[in-house]
């Protein structure tokens, strides 16, 4: 079962852009940890916040979105069938729109016209071309996402009454969530930031802009996570020779993400003075709801691994673990991602807990949290996926040598991230702020307790940069130099004794109604409140 050649080309085009973003964004990351150690100064007047913006935008927004779309296009084509000419055209239009937008936004950051970090909080004001560029990335993603969804809809029409392919269903869930979530940020950029940066209006409502941003921002993190979950649920079981524990459970967890990912953004604003506590309370409850599908996922994966390990003769409480294929990078690399997601997710629950959030908010603990979640659980899964996806799409094979290097790469990554992220967590608890360059704060005693951790971050960050170079070496080999042949795109079957999937799980009309209702309940009152009690607003600042 091969992905259609023409679809492979679109998928690879997305993945190439993602890899360029990885190289540039990773280099920026290395420079940052060096600066923050206090031992290194950036040359040629380059600013710390400029480098931090390159890092956040290229890795957080561009690497992820482009890789996810490359993977999803291949996934839909593999499981629902080759795209039609119209669907393919939509995916290409989406790709070029996103790429043009990326070039515009990156150019402004490199020209030092947009050092506003990846969250682009007002009143920091970037050049309007930066905002327009990001708008094009979002609009392009809508068009490309539609191309993918149309293929799934076509499958449903051609196979009436049947349960659709699980992987395609998951892609549609992710795109639906993305579409609803991006409405918030698109409104912020179109109605607030663009007119303001163009000078059409003088002032902007900061609280409104931040609330609209976070109505998108937390769903964004699940937009990164769900493709990793697709690989964990559907690909990894096949790699280990097992079966999907339950099709129904997998779909249920994705539907829960669709419902609960958007109406939870206020947990990023728990210290925000202008939002009433009752709305924060409601959204914290909804945040705890969005933890449940991750717990379902953990349960399902443990079951898959244990059932397979026992079928291979594993005995005792943990004996089955030994039977898993530890020497196969396609399993080992995402597995490390899963392991790291356990402390990463636990940290998220700490963040979401109202009282504990007071301790960690705006400290570098939060940076430690998202380097475990997105930069390890998700990114390692994407790296692991590349070891079969890239050769599958380029008509080559994963050699033993590359497989071994993939395993070494993942170990380097986990060690580097272990050092960097642990140091960030501890320094955060000691009060070290995030989003700040090195400073001894006028020789303040408390700042001196952070310095050794900042040096540890530089050590970990350097290992991570070596990890990026190693990965890119393997990537280049798999694209152009590995032996020609056929590499499998692994898709597992559902366990024969699993419960039948209830049709209601595919009833998107119902889920969309519930999703819209939840978003309205969680957001309409707070936003009405923010607008009706709006202060004068702020002029733009360019502090860099
Ligand atoms: Fe988060 C801040 C809460 C998950 C990313 N988060 C961030 C930011 C980012 C981010 C980028 O409530 C910073 C944004 C900024 O710039 O300001 N987060 C959560 C919660 C979860 C969570 C409750 N976050 C993620 C994921 C991310 C991500 C996933 C990226 C992909 N986060 C917060 C909060 C803040 C926040 C607050 C704001 C803090 C502040 O004040 O600024 C949950 O979804 C986590 C649930 C996950 C679990 C883990 C399940 C484990 C699994 C693995 C199983 C392992 C196996 C291995 C099977 C409960 C599924 C088998 C092992 C064997 C031994 C066999």
Instruction: Render pLDDT for 343-376 as a digit per residue (tens, 0 to 9).
Output: 999 999 999 998 999 999 999 999 999 999 999 9
Burial class (CB within 10 angstroms; exposed 0-12, middle 13-18, buried 19+) of 483: exposed
Residue nearest atom 38 in ligand 1 by C-alpha distance: 268
pLDDT (tens digit per residue) in 478-533? 999 999 999 999 999 999 988 899 999 999 999 999 999 999 998 999 999 999 99
Mark whether 156 is an active-site residue.
no
The DSSP output letter for 426 is H
The residue from 156, 203, 310, 434 that is catalytic is 434
382 touches ligand 1 (CB under 6 Å): no
Question: Which one of the listed residues 179, 299, 435, 525 is annotated catalytic?
Answer: 435
Considering only CA atoms, which residue is closest to atom 44 of ligand 1? 291
3-state secondary structure of 489: coil
Span from the CA of 352 to the centroid of ligand 1 (angstroms): 10
Ligand 1 center–CA 126 separation, angstroms? 29
Widest CA span of the chain, in angstroms? 71
- H or E segment to which residue 427 belongs: helix 400-429
Q: For this structure, is 218 an active site residue?
A: yes
Is 267 annotated as catalytic? Answer: no
Establish whether 392 is a catalytic residue.
no
Name the catalytic one among 66, 370, 382, 471.
370
Does 438 participate in catalysis according to the annotation? Answer: no
pLDDT band with cut points at 50, 70 and 90 for residue 40: confident
Instruction: Give the pLDDT score at 174.
Output: 97
1 confidence band (pLDDT: 50, 70, 90): confident
What is the arithmetic mean of pLDDT over 194-218?
Answer: 95
Judge whether residue 168 has pLDDT over 90.
Answer: yes
pLDDT surpasses 90 at 146: yes
pTM as predicted: 0.95
Closest C-alpha to ligand 1, atom 8: 370
pLDDT band at 43, cuts 50/70/90?
A: confident
Q: Give the per-residue pLDDT at 529.
A: 93
pLDDT of residue 38: 83
- Residue 77: pLDDT above 90? yes
Contact by Cβ (8 Å): 515, 180: yes
Q: How far apart are the first and last CA of the chain?
A: 53
| CA proximity to 54, closest of 136, 96, 114, 101 | 114
Residues 253-282 have a mean pLDDT of: 93
Mean pLDDT, residues 105-116: 94
**27-41, 114-128, 179-193, 345-359: which has the minimum mean pLDDT?**
27-41
- pLDDT-derived band at 111, boundaries 50, 70, 90: very high
**Alpha carbon of 295 to ligand 1 centroid (Å):** 12
Is the CB of 352 inside a 6 Å radius of any atom of ligand 1?
yes
Query: What is the number of the ligand 1 atom nearest to the C-alpha of 268?
Result: 38
Question: How far away, in angstroms, is 504 Cα from ligand 1 center?
Answer: 28
| Best mutation site among 348, 359, 363, 368 for ligand 1 pocket (most ligand atoms within 8 Å of CB) | 348
Which residues, 6 or more positions from 374, have their beta carbon under 8 angstroms from its beta carbon?
60, 64, 221, 224, 225
Catalytic residue status for 49 = no
Question: Beta-carbon neighbour count of residue 191 at 10 Å?
Answer: 15
Q: How far apart are CA 299 and CA 315, in angstroms?
A: 20
Indicate whether residue 372 lines ligand 1 (CB < 6 A).
no
Do the beta carbons of residue 338 and residue 345 sit within 8 Å?
no
pLDDT of residue 544: 85
Residue among 118, 257, 354, 369 to mutate when testing ligand 1 (max atoms within 8 A of CB): 369
Backbone phi, psi, residue 84, to 5°: -80, 170
Which of 151, 267, 369, 392 is catalytic? The answer is 369
**Any atom of ligand 1 within 6 Å of the Cβ of 345:** yes
Average pLDDT along the chain: 95
* 78 catalytic residue (yes or no): no
Residue 41's pLDDT band (cuts 50, 70, 90) = confident
């Amino acid at each position: 079962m091969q992905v259609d050649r023409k679809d492979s080309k679109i998928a690879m085009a997305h993945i190439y852009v993602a890899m360029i973003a990885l190289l540039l964004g990773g280099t920026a990351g290395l420079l940052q940890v060096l600066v923050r150690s206090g031992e290194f100064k950036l040359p040629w007047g380059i600013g710390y916040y400029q480098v931090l913006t390159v890092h956040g935008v290229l890795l957080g927004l561009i690497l992820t979105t482009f890789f996810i779309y490359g993977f999803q296009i291949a996934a839909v084509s593999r499981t629902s069938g080759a795209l039609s000419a119209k669907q393919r055209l939509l995916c290409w239009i989406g790709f070029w729109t996103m790429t043009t937008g990326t070039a515009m936004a990156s150019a402004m950051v490199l020209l030092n016209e947009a050092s506003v970090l990846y969250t682009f909080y007002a009143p920091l004001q970037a050049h309007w071309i930066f905002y327009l560029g990001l708008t094009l990335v979002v609009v392009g993603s809508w068009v490309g996402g539609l191309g993918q969804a149309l293929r799934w809809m076509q499958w449903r029409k051609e196979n009436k009454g049947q349960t659709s392919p699980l992987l395609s269903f998951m892609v549609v869930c992710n795109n639906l969530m993305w579409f609803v979530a991006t409405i918030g940020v698109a409104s912020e950029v179109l109605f607030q930031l663009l007119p303001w940066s163009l000078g059409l209006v003088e002032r902007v409502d900061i609280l409104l802009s931040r609330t609209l941003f976070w109505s998108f921002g937390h769903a964004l993190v699940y937009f990164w996570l769900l493709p990793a979950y697709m690989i964990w649920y559907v690909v990894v079981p096949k790699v280990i020779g097992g079966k999907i524990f339950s099709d129904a459970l997998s779909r249920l967890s994705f539907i829960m993400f669709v419902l609960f990912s958007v109406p939870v953004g206020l947990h990023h604003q728990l210290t925000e003075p202008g939002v009433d506590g009752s709305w924060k309370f409601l959204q914290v409850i909804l945040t705890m709801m969005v933890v449940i599908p991750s717990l379902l996922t953990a349960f399902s994966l443990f079951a898959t691994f244990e059932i397979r390990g026992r079928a291979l003769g594993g005995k005792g409480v943990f004996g089955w673990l030994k039977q898993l294929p530890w020497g196969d990078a396609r399993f080992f690399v995402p597995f490390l991602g899963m392991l790291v997601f356990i402390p990463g997710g636990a940290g998220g629950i700490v963040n979401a807990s109202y009282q504990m959030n007071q301790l960690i908010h705006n400290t570098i603990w939060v940076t430690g949290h998202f380097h475990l979640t997105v930069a390890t659980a998700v990114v390692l899964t994407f790296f692991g996926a590349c070891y079969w996806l890239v050769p599958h799409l380029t008509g080559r094979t994963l050699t033993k040598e590359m497989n071994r290097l993939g395993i070494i790469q993942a170990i380097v990554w986990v060690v580097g991230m272990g050092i960097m992220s642990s140091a960030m967590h501890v320094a955060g608890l000691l009060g070290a702020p995030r989003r700040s360059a090195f400073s001894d704060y006028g020789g303040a005693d408390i700042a001196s307790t952070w310095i050794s951790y900042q040096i540890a971050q530089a050590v970990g960050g350097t290992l991570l940069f070596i990890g990026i170079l190693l990965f890119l070496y393997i990537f280049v080999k798999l694209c152009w130099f590995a032996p020609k042949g056929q590499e499998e795109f692994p898709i597992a079957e559902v366990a024969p004794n699993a419960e039948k999937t209830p049709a209601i799980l595919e009833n998107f009309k119902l889920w969309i109604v519930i999703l819209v209702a939840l978003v309205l309940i969680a957001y309409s009152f707070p936003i009405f409140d923010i607008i009706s009690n709006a202060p004068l607003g702020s002029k733009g600042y360019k502090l860099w």
